[in-house]
Structure 1
Amino acid sequence: MAQDITSLTGEDCFEANSPCCSVTGALSQGDKGYDDILELNQFDGLPYSSRFYKLLSERKELPVWKAKCEFMDTLAKGRFVIVSGSAKTGRSSQIPQWCAEFCLSVQFQHGMVVCTQIHSQQAVDLALRVADEMDVNIGHEVGYSIPLETCSTNDTVLRYCTDDMLLREMMSDPLLERYGVVIVDQAHQRTVATDVLQGLLKDIALQRPELRVVLLTAVEPVPKQLAHFTGSAAPLIGLESPGAGEVVHSSTGDSYFCSALRLVLEIHRSEEEGDVVVFLVTAQEIDLAHEILCHEGHSLSPDLGELLPVAVHPGQPGNLPILGEEETGRPRRVFLTSSPNEDFFWAVSSIRFVIDPGLEKRYVYNPRIRTNSVIIQPISAGQAKSRKQLAGPTGKCFCLYPEDRQLPIEIRPHVVESDISSTVLFLKRMEIAGLGHCDFIDRPDPEGLMQALEELDYLAALDNDGNLSEMGIIMSEFPLEPQMAKTLLASCEFDCVSEVVIIAAMLTVPTCFTVPSADLKPEATQCHMKFQNPEGDHFTLINIYKAFKKCQQDPYCNVEKWCQDFYLNHAALLMADAFRTELTDTLKRIELPISVPAFGSRSNTLNIKRALLAGFFMQVARDVDGSGNYFILTHRHVAQIHPLSGYGAKSPKLGLPEWVLFHDHSFSEDNCLRTATHITPEEFIQMAPQYFFYNLPPSESKDILQNILNHGASQYRDRKPPTSQEEPQTSDRCVIQ
Structure 2
Amino acid sequence: MSAEINPSVADVHLESEECPGEDSFGFGDDLELNQFDGLPFSSRYYKLLKERKALPVWKVRCQFEDALINNQLLIVSGTAKTGRSTQIPQWCAEFCLSSQYQHGMVVCTQTNKQQAVDLALRVADEMDVNIGHEVGYTIPLETCCCSDTVLRYCTDDMLLREMMSDPFLEHYGVIIINQAHERTVSTDTLLGLLKDILLQRSELRVVVLTVPPLTDRLLRHYGSIPIINLEASHAAEVVHCNSSNKDYFYSALRLVLEIHRTKEWGDVVVFFSSPEEVHCAHSILQKESTRLGGDLEQLLPVILFPSQGGLLPVLTEPPASTKSRRVFLSTQQGEDVWWDTQSVNFVIDTGVQKKMVYNPRVRASSEVLQPISQSQADIRKQLCGPTGKCFCLYPEESMLPAETPPQILESNITPTVLFLKRMEIAGRGQCSFIDRPDPEGLMQALEELDYLAALDDDGNLSEIGIIMSEIPLEPQMAKALLASCEFDCVSEMLTIAAMLSAPSCFLEPSAAMTHEAVQCHRKFQHPEGDHFTLINIYNAFKQNQREQYLTAEKWCQEYFLNCSALKTADATRAELTDTLNRIELPISEPSFGTKTNTLNIKRALLAGFFMQIARDVDGSGNYFILTHKHMAQVHPFSSYGAQSHKMGLPEWVVFNEYTLSENCMRTVSEISPQVFIQVAPMYFFYNLPPSESKDILQDMLDPQESKGGKENKQTPSVSSDANSGCAAVTPSYDRCVIQ
TM-score (norm 2): 0.93
Specify the alignment match of 2:677 in structure 1: 685
Letter in 2 for 1:718: N
Specify the alignment match of 2:170 in structure 1: 177
Note the 1:586-601 alignment, pairs <5 A: 586-601=579-594
Letter in 2 for 1:719: S
CA deviation after TM superposition for structure 1 residue 320, in Å: 8.8
Equivalent of 2:240, from 249, 252, 256?
Answer: 249
Change (3 A) 1:316 1:328: closer
Equivalent of 2:226, from 235, 246, 262?
Answer: 235
CA contact (8 A) 1:531 1:540 kept: yes
DSSP 3-state at the match of 1:273? coil
DSSP 3-state at the match of 2:631? strand
Specify the alignment match of 1:343 in structure 2: 336
Specify the alignment match of 1:6 in structure 2: none
Q: Which moved more, 1:605-614 or 1:544-553?
A: 544-553
CA deviation after TM superposition for structure 1 residue 26, in Å: 7.5
Q: Does 1:632 align with 2:625?
A: yes
Change (3 A) 1:163 1:458: same
DSSP 3-state at the match of 1:394? coil
Specify the alignment match of 1:502 in structure 2: 495
Residues of 1 paired with 2:373 and 2:65: CA distance?
31
Change (3 A) 1:571 1:19: farther
CA deviation after TM superposition for structure 1 residue 317, in Å: 5.8
DSSP 3-state at the match of 1:221? helix
Q: Does 1:188 align with 2:181?
A: yes
* Superposed CA offset, 1:676-735 (max 9, x none): 00001101101100000000000000000000001465521133353xxxx536796763
Residues of 2 paired with 1:721 and 1:488: CA distance?
22
Residues of 1 paired with 2:561 and 2:473: CA distance?
23
Specify the alignment match of 2:724 in structure 1: 719
Q: Does 1:109 align with 2:102?
A: yes
Residues of 2 paired with 1:260 and 1:28: CA distance?
50
CA deviation after TM superposition for structure 1 residue 580, in Å: 0.3
Change (3 A) 1:714 1:582: same
Equivalent of 1:444, from 425, 437, 441?
Answer: 437
Residues of 2 paired with 1:220 and 1:50: CA distance?
40
DSSP 3-state at the match of 1:436? coil
DSSP 3-state at the match of 1:587? helix
Specify the alignment match of 1:643 in structure 2: 636
Residues of 1 paired with 2:639 and 2:119: CA distance?
41
Q: Does 1:358 align with 2:363?
A: no
Letter in 2 for 1:326: P
CA contact (8 A) 2:282 2:303 kept: yes
Letter in 2 for 1:655: G
CA contact (8 A) 2:213 2:402 kept: no
Residues of 2 paired with 1:716 and 1:321: CA distance?
57
Specify the alignment match of 1:262 in structure 2: 254
Note the 1:43-192 alignment, pairs <5 A: 43-192=36-185
DSSP 3-state at the match of 2:314? coil
Q: Which moved more, 1:654-663 or 1:247-256?
A: 247-256
* Superposed CA offset, 1:41-99 (max 9, x none): 01011111000000000011110000100000000010111011112000100010000
Q: Does 1:388 align with 2:381?
A: yes
DSSP 3-state at the match of 1:200? helix
CA contact (8 A) 2:678 2:730 kept: no
Specify the alignment match of 1:736 in structure 2: 738
Residues of 2 paired with 1:436 and 1:325: CA distance?
48
Note the 1:549-564 alignment, pairs <5 A: 549-564=542-557
Specify the alignment match of 2:6 in structure 1: none
Letter in 1 for 2:230: L
Residues of 2 paired with 1:571 and 1:28: CA distance?
44
Residues of 1 paired with 2:678 and 2:404: CA distance?
45
Residues of 1 paired with 2:432 and 2:658: CA distance?
31
Note the 1:415-454 alignment, pairs <5 A: 415-454=408-447
CA deviation after TM superposition for structure 1 residue 329, in Å: 2.0
Q: Does 1:276 align with 2:268?
A: yes
Change (3 A) 1:141 1:317: closer
Q: Which moved more, 1:351-360 or 1:626-635?
A: 351-360
Letter in 2 for 1:397: C
Note the 1:221-620 alignment, pairs <5 A: 221-229=214-222, 231-232=223-224, 234-250=225-241, 251=243, 253-315=245-307, 322-327=314-319, 329=321, 331-620=324-613
CA contact (8 A) 1:413 1:442 kept: yes
* Superposed CA offset, 1:286-318 (max 9, x none): 221111112112222344233222223444569
* Superposed CA offset, 1:351-397 (max 9, x none): 22111111112222111100112221211111101011112222111
CA deviation after TM superposition for structure 1 residue 222, in Å: 4.2
CA contact (8 A) 1:16 1:27 kept: no
Letter in 2 for 1:301: G
Residues of 2 paired with 1:256 and 1:341: CA distance?
18
Return structure 1 stretches of 4+ with deviation > 4 angstroms. Answer: 13-29, 316-321, 651-654, 729-734
CA contact (8 A) 2:25 2:95 kept: no
DSSP 3-state at the match of 1:140? coil
Q: Which runs of 5+ in 1 are unaligned?
A: 1-9
Identity of aligned residues (%): 66
Residues of 1 paired with 2:556 and 2:457: CA distance?
49
CA deviation after TM superposition for structure 1 residue 572, in Å: 0.9
Residues of 1 paired with 2:648 and 2:520: CA distance?
18
Q: Which runs of 5+ in 2 are unaligned?
A: 1-8, 704-715
Letter in 1 for 2:236: G
CA deviation after TM superposition for structure 1 residue 23, in Å: 10
DSSP 3-state at the match of 2:642? coil
Residues of 2 paired with 1:252 and 1:24: CA distance?
51
CA contact (8 A) 2:75 2:215 kept: no
Note the 1:21-36 alignment, pairs <5 A: none
Change (3 A) 1:137 1:15: farther
